[in-house]
Amino acid sequence: MLKLVLTRTAASLVAIFGASILAFVLLRVAPADPARLLAGPFATEEVVEAQRVALGLKDSLVSQYFRYIGDFFQGDWGFSFSVGRPVIDQIGSRLPASIELGLYAFIFALVGAVICALLATYRRRRAVDHTINGFALFGLGTPPFWLALIVLLVFFGILDILPGPEGRLSPRQEAPPEVTRMYTIDALLAGQLGTFFDAGKHLLLPALVLGFAPWAFFFRLLRASLLEVSGEQYLATARSKGIRRWTAFRRHALPNAFLPTLTAAGLIFAALLAGSVLVESVYQWPGLGALVRDGVIEQDYAVVQAFILIGAFAYVVVNLVVDILYGVIDPRTRTGSAVTK
Amino acid sequence: MSTSVAEHGQGAGLSPEHGGHVLRVAGLQSEFRSRRGTVKAVRAVSLELEPGQRVGIVGESGSGKSAFALSVLGLLEPPGYVVGGEVILNGRNIAELDDRQMQTVRGKEISIVFQDPMSALNPVKTIGQQITETIRKHQPQLGKKGARAAAIELLRDVEVPAAGRRIDDYPHQYSGGMRQRVMIAIALANQPNVLIADEPTTALDVTTQAQVLTLLDRLVTERGTAVILITHNLGIVAQFCDVVYVMYAGRVVERAATADLFAHPVHPYTEALLRAVPRPDQLAQGPLPSIPGAPPNLAEVAPGCSFESRCPLGRGHKLCRTEVPVSTAAIGFGSGGATAECHFAKERVAEYLDGDATTA
Ligand SMILES: Nc1ncnc2c1ncn2[C@@H]1O[C@H](COP(=O)(O)OP(=O)(O)OP(=O)(O)O)[C@@H](O)[C@H]1O
Ligand code: SF4
Ligand SMILES: [Mg+2]
């Protein structure tokens, strides 16, 4: 088990190194010249050249890379000239918003998918199965921004029971004291129930919309593997011991059915954490997605570069966790000597 | 183990006057429902088992042996349903019990060993976890430690080497034969009265088959467990069983004490099975011989005898084509209680008796 953790961690470090090189190279080959951008369009060539030297762009690529990595670990992620703030400040204020939204979307998707997959398979009712399955197909085929607009129209425009596109809190609502910068959690920590519900109401629609397609995806994966696992002989063995149907299912079928979903769940979780440009735009959600979109438009590459590294980091960490979980659940990945049939 | 016919002593033969059945199945019916129709897999099967007795069920693939076994245990899953009959185990009808009530029956009074030991164990749980699951269910007073000790003891009993260490292995670290030993350990963990073994050795190679069968023989003898052994292998039946039930198309078409069945097959299907191999002591290996023709479609049961199209005796016979034969007592053979489901059962028994008289 320890060996598994060590080898997987080593592999993760290699992956992050690769991503850092990619992020670094991106900035060098990007069409925009940072020195020119900083100096402004009317600066003379000498001024731009001086700016290049100041930025270290004249050094060898290797030493530039090491300085970049060193800066990165010291929290110097570059300067966003389009906003006039250090990149790390910007990301620091945006990332928690995206993480909170992604987290709830992920929880909705996964918990919803588990419940629906059980409903669709455990009792073997065709009608239930067909209904949920149809809904899932709809979920896979629906563009999220369109859905975001529709539910906003229904729940805000027509029914007026949920807040409109006004970000994370109502305009007059104070943000809770900063701990994690995730408002629902911070509000609970501070015991501010009013703030908690306000934040929750603002999260509900975007999280549901963002989680809809992942829900459909998880549901279909889980449904297929539950169907497969529920026909397995070892379930009959468990029941022949006097274990009740549901207990046997919970103990012997669910963990096994989860295995194929685990990898996909990890990737989707990482993707959700990184934010969604379109859904964030519709709900005026101050997350990473919007920041990166602006960064690309403004050719503000320091922002994009930091985003790539953070994204890579998230993917690698999540995958590491998935790999280790796999090892915990499935002994066959732990001990190499598989005598499979 | 020798290959002589039914040599061991336990309740040898059939004795209808004996009332002490540990299991009595009466008119059990099960079916599989699908869009294309309903397959009547078990069509009113009755079976009696005395304490410590060994009953064999033989019959070609699809004759309903597994469906019968699962129906007895109430483990048939949709689209399969038990639609009639009684299963009297230790004096009460377990066919009427619900899933909650069956908890104290399965694994305690009756258990089952499945055919394929590769898929019958959960790959992500240790052997120990899977054995203790049944011990802790039915003997909670043992506690965690006691259950583990009992599991190691069981593993030793089924002759798994280094049981104390290998109890923490996962199924993929065991060979097929060892896994089947584990399945037997699980099935016998709580000393059930009845063990159903559904082709317990079919998936194993020949040497392992013999070892596992010898082991099973010893364990059930020691514990006095009554066994229903489902198999394709007539040699195994000859070695292991007191009584044989021959199933065909969801029906028991003949039942007799093992020695009688091999000596005097009454039903033409049984005779065809035996005729396809020259001598009983050469049956020991290999699956059931194949008989020309195909079994009937169980989704649309035709009138008449279901063996008619393949029967050398009755093919084309008007009676056989139109009338379903009823179970007829094959009176006159040694232990009595034998039955055969054939219009000509009486005549055939008479022939045998004549033949025996002339050779005697
Ligand atoms: N899940 C199922 N769905 C539909 N029909 C089934 C199902 N399982 C079994 N059957 C049908 O029920 C009948 C009896 O099957 P069963 O498995 O009991 O036969 P068997 O005697 O055990 O055969 P084998 O020797 O191959 O194990 C067969 O005709 C089979 O096609
Ligand atoms: S009833 Fe007729 S067809 Fe059926 S087994 Fe007997 S002789 Fe053959
Ligand atoms: Mg079978």
Mean pLDDT of A50-60: 77
> What would the mean pLDDT of A253-259 be, rounded to a whole number?
86
Residue B269's alpha-carbon distances to B42, B43, B56, B256, B277, in angstroms, are: 18, 17, 16, 14, 13
Give the closest of B118, B124, B137 to A341, CB-based.
B118
H or E element that contains A106? helix A87-121
**In this structure, are strands B110-113 and B54-58 parallel, antiparallel, or unpaired?**
unpaired
pLDDT of residue B334: 57
Judge residue B222's burial from the number of C-beta atoms within 10 Å of its C-beta, 0-12 exposed, 13-18 middle, 19 or more buried.
exposed
Q: Search chain A and give the residue with CA nearest B185.
A: A241
Contact A129, A120 (CB under 8 A): yes
Residue of chain A with shortest Cα separation from B107 = A241
Please tell me the distance from the alpha carbon of residue B44 to that of residue A28, in angstroms, as a whole number: 81
Q: Using CA positions, which residue lies closest to atom 25 of ligand 1? A: B61
Nearest protein Cα to ligand 1, atom 29: B62
pLDDT for the residue numbered A41 = 74
Report residue B342 as tokens. 């054939």
Cβ pair A240:B124 closer than 8 A = no
Task: Pick the atom of ligand 1 nearest to B63's CA.
Answer: 21
A75 or A100: whose pLDDT is higher? A100
Q: How far is A5 from chain B (nearest CA, A)?
A: 19
CB B139 within 8 A of CB B190: yes
Please tell me the predicted confidence (pLDDT) of residue B7.
Answer: 42
CB B181 less than 6 A from any atom of ligand 1: no
Q: Can you give the pLDDT at residue B17? A: 44
Q: Which residue of B has its CA nearest to A123?
A: B78
Question: How many angstroms separate the first and last alpha carbons of chain A?
Answer: 24
Instruction: Tell me, in angstroms, the distance from the centre of ligand 3 to residue B144's CA.
Output: 35
| B37 Cβ closer than 6 Å to some ligand 1 atom | no
Residue B294 is predicted with a pLDDT of 79
Q: Which of B99, B103, B124 to mutate to test the interface with A (most CBs of A within 10 A)?
A: B124
Q: What is the pLDDT of residue B104?
A: 93
ipTM for the whole complex: 0.86
pLDDT digits (tens, 9 = 90+) for A227-236: 888 888 999 9
- Judge: B116–A243 Cβ closer than 8 Å, yes or no: no
Neighbours of A84 (CB within 10 A): 7
Q: Provide the pLDDT for residue B222.
A: 94
> Chain B: nearest CA to A250, how far in angstroms?
13
A308: tokens are 């790539």
Record the tokens describing residue B17, joined without a space: 């006057």
Helix (H) / strand (E) element for A117: namely helix A87-121
| CA A79/CA A90 separation, integer angstroms | 10
| Mean pLDDT over the full length of chain A | 84
CA of B229 to the centre of ligand 2 (A): 26
> In the prediction, which pLDDT does B278 show?
56
For residue B114, give the nearest of A233, A243, A340 by CB distance: A233
User: Quick one: pLDDT band at residue A53, thresholds 50, 70, 90?
Assistant: confident
What are the structural domain ranges in chain B? 12-241, 253-278+291-359
Choose one of B248, B301, B306, B320 to mutate for the ligand 2 pocket test, by most ligand atoms within 8 angstroms of C-beta.
B320
pTM equals 0.80
Closest CA to A78 of A157, A24, A153, A121: A24
* Tokens standing for residue B186: 């699980």
DSSP character at residue A124: -
**B320: its two tokens:** 């056989």
For chain B, the C-alpha Rg in angstroms (whole number) is: 21
Q: Which residue has the higher pLDDT, B19 or A246?
A: A246
Place of tokens 């514990």: B223
Provide, as residue numbers in chain A, all residues whose Cβ is less than 8 Å from the Cβ of B106: 239-242
Pocket test for ligand 2, best of B251, B301, B308 (most atoms within 8 A of CB): B308
* CA–centroid distance, residue B330 to ligand 3 (Å): 28
The alpha carbon of A99 is separated from its chain's Cα centroid by a whole number of angstroms, namely 7
**CATH class of segment(s) A89-333:** mainly alpha
Residue nearest to atom 7 of ligand 2 (CA): B314
User: Would you call B122 and A242 a contact, using CB atoms and an 8 Å cutoff?
Assistant: no
Q: What is the mean pLDDT of residues A51-75?
A: 80
The pLDDT, as a whole number, for residue B18 is 45
Sequence ranges of the domains in chain A? 2-86, 89-333
Ligand nearest to the CA of B42: 1
- CA distance to partner chain B, nearest, from residue A252 (Å): 7
Q: What is the mean pLDDT of residues A23-35?
A: 72
Write out residues in chain B with pLDDT < 50, as ranges. 1-12, 16-18
Digit-coded pLDDT (tens) for A301-311 = 778 888 888 88
**φ/ψ bin of B199: left (φ > 0), alpha (ψ from -120 to 50), beta (otherwise):** left
Task: Report the pLDDT value the prediction gives residue A341, as an integer from 0 to 100.
Answer: 33
The continuous run of DSSP H or E covering A260 comes out as helix A254-273
pLDDT for residue B12 = 46
- Residue (of B6, B229, B190) closest to B107 by Cα position: B190
**CATH number for region B12-241:** 3.40.50.300
Gap from CA of A98 to ligand 3 centroid (Å): 55
**Whose Cα sits closest to atom 8 in ligand 2?**
B314
Q: Catalogue the E-assigned strands of A103-235.
A: none
* Ligand showing the shortest atom-to-Cα distance for residue B308: 2
Q: How far is the CA of B198 from the centre of ligand 3 (A)?
A: 7
Kindly report the three-state secondary structure assignment for every residue of chain B. Answer: CCCCCCCCCCCCCCCCCCCCCCEEEEEEEEEEEECCEEEEEEEEEEEEECCCCEEEEECCCCCCHHHHHHHHHCCCCCCEEEEEEEEEECCEEHHHCCHHHHCCCECCCEEEECCCCCCCCCCCCCHHHHHHHHHHHHCHHHHHHHHHHHHHHHHHHCCCCCHHHHCCCCHHHCCHHHHHHHHHHHHHCCCCCEEEEECCCCCCCHHHHHHHHHHHHHHHHHHCCEEEEECCCHHHHHHHCCEEEEEECCEEEEEEEHHHHHHCCCCHHHHHHHHCCCCHHHCCCCCCCCCCCCCCCCCCCCCCCCCHHHCCCCCCCHHHHHCCCCCEECCCCCCCCCEECCCCHHHHHHHHHHHHHHHC
Cα(B196) to ligand 2 centroid in Å equals: 30
Phi, psi of B338 (to 5 degrees): -75, 145
Using CB atoms, pick whichever of A233, A241, A340 lies closest to residue B106: A241
B207 with B219: CB under 8 angstroms? no
The predicted-structure confidence for A112-140, as pLDDT tens digits, reads as follows 999 999 999 888 788 888 999 998 988 88
C-beta atoms of A238 and B133 within 8 A: yes
Nearest neighbour of A240 by CB, restricted to B75, B124, B172: B75
Q: How far is the CA of B65 from the centre of ligand 1 (A)?
A: 8
Residues of A in contact with B73 (CB under 8 A): 240
Is A282 strand, coil or helix?
Answer: helix
